[in-house]
Structure 1
Amino acid sequence: MPGIEEINGSEVRDGDIVVGMDGSVPARQALSWAAGQARLTGSRLHVIAAWDLPAYHGWAPVVPSEENPAETAGKMMSVAVRDVLGEGQPDLKVAESILPGHPAQVLIDASAHAALLVLGCRGLGSFAGALIGSVSQQCVQHAHCPVVVVRGTGQAPFDSDFGRGDEAPWNHTRGKEEET
């Protein structure tokens, strides 16, 4: 894709704005916000998707042998980046990385060189978050740089025109006019 440089995650540069991507609506909203911030500051945007094999018990593997989790994560990330940013962004430097490991640890490690870490929040609630340990919570507590958690409702389908052009990085009133 024009305007997108693909690199591996060990190359997070000092000053990058790092955004975690899992393909969800909140992650796409975070990507849009981070792209706006990168434009404002002239920073490079570094999108990171992490993949991890699920823990299993017993003899049979949980992941089918023909499934490649890194390839699946890469396809998901490429689609999300294209949907949010569109084709070719001459005013935006974007790097993509697909890294093995638990998402929280991968992002915490990447934050060591980042100027900012941006995450979406699925809003599972404090009880669920305490039980399973949300990625956002872990990153806020352990990241080596400032962290922005973009909260959205996660209810509406993703608008692929969102985040393009000269509009604000995140408009919290988007869609509100339809409710009134």
Structure 2
Amino acid sequence: MAVPVIAHAHCPVIVVREAEHVTQQPPFLVVGVDGSPDSKTAVDYAFEEAASRGAGLRALYVWHPPLLGALDEQAAQQECRRLLSETVAGRGAAYPDVELHHEVVRGHPVKVLIEASTHVLGLVVGSRGLGGFTGLLLGSVSQGVLYHALCPVMVGPHPKH
């Protein structure tokens, strides 16, 4: 039921699966970043949420190497770091009390984000990423974390909303 609501929402939607969730101290949120317009919107919402809750923020760019292997893995990871840095750049000035950590992690985005969702205040993702099929209501990563994350999930609306 949440997928159609999220896909057509004009505001962020938070899905809370459990009545009680144990968080790590100090509290922090995780935001998934892939350089897409949706992930930039997710980063904005993540900073806003972290600031309002007095929490830190961990921005993750999950690099999933192609099945046939990257021609230059080091260059590919460097590009991921560049995209991550550009996506979060400038937002710290607007939210100086939010402690930001960002990193590039190798693996499948859904698996890594689910693992990162343990004991965090929440996981923030965009509704769609860079890949996938345009006819889907939500991107595969958004759907995967929505169903399997171990914390509340906030899905930001598509920027056109």
TM-score by length of 1: 0.66
Contact 1:70/1:99 (8 A) holds in 2: no
Query: How many residue pairs get matched?
Result: 134
Aligned equivalent of 1:4: none
Using the TM superposition, give the Cα deviation of residue 114 of structure 1 relative to its aligned residue in structure 2, in angstroms. Answer: 1.4
Using the TM superposition, give the Cα deviation of residue 139 of structure 1 relative to its aligned residue in structure 2, in angstroms. Answer: 0.2
Using the TM superposition, give the Cα deviation of residue 151 of structure 1 relative to its aligned residue in structure 2, in angstroms. Answer: 1.2
Aligned equivalent of 2:36: 24
Aligned equivalent of 1:149: 155
What is the SS of the residue equivalent to 2:89?
helix
Contact 1:44/1:92 (8 A) holds in 2: yes
Using the TM superposition, give the Cα deviation of residue 53 of structure 1 relative to its aligned residue in structure 2, in angstroms. Answer: 0.9
Contact 2:77/2:104 (8 A) holds in 1: yes
Aligned partner (choices 79, 82, 99) of residue 93 of structure 1: 99
What is the SS of the residue equivalent to 1:139?
helix
Aligned equivalent of 1:41: 53
Aligned equivalent of 1:110: 116
Report 1:1-180 matches (<5 A): 14=25, 15-56=27-68, 61=69, 63-65=70-72, 67-83=74-90, 85=91, 87=93, 89-122=95-128, 124-126=134-136, 134-154=140-160
Q: Which amino acid is 2:84 matched to?
A: M
Using the TM superposition, give the Cα deviation of residue 21 of structure 1 relative to its aligned residue in structure 2, in angstroms. Answer: 0.3
Gap regions ≥5 residues in structure 1: 1-12, 155-171, 173-180
Contact 2:62/2:112 (8 A) holds in 1: yes
Q: Which amino acid is 1:65 matched to?
A: D
Cα deviation, 1:20-77, whole Å, max 9, x if unaligned, reads: 0001110000000110011100000110001011113xxxx4x223753222111110
Q: Which amino acid is 1:120 matched to?
A: G
Change (3 A) 1:37 1:121: same
Q: Rg bigger for which structure?
A: 1
Change (3 A) 1:66 1:105: closer
Q: Which amino acid is 2:48 matched to?
A: G
Contact 2:47/2:95 (8 A) holds in 1: no
Aligned equivalent of 2:13: none
- Structure 1: distance between partners of 2:35 and 2:41: 10
- Structure 1 stretches of at least 4 aligned residues deviating more than 3 Å after TM superposition: 86-89, 123-127
Gap regions ≥5 residues in structure 2: 1-23
- Structure 2: distance between partners of 1:45 and 1:74: 17
Contact 1:52/1:69 (8 A) holds in 2: no
Q: Which amino acid is 1:69 matched to?
A: A
- Structure 1: distance between partners of 2:121 and 2:73: 38
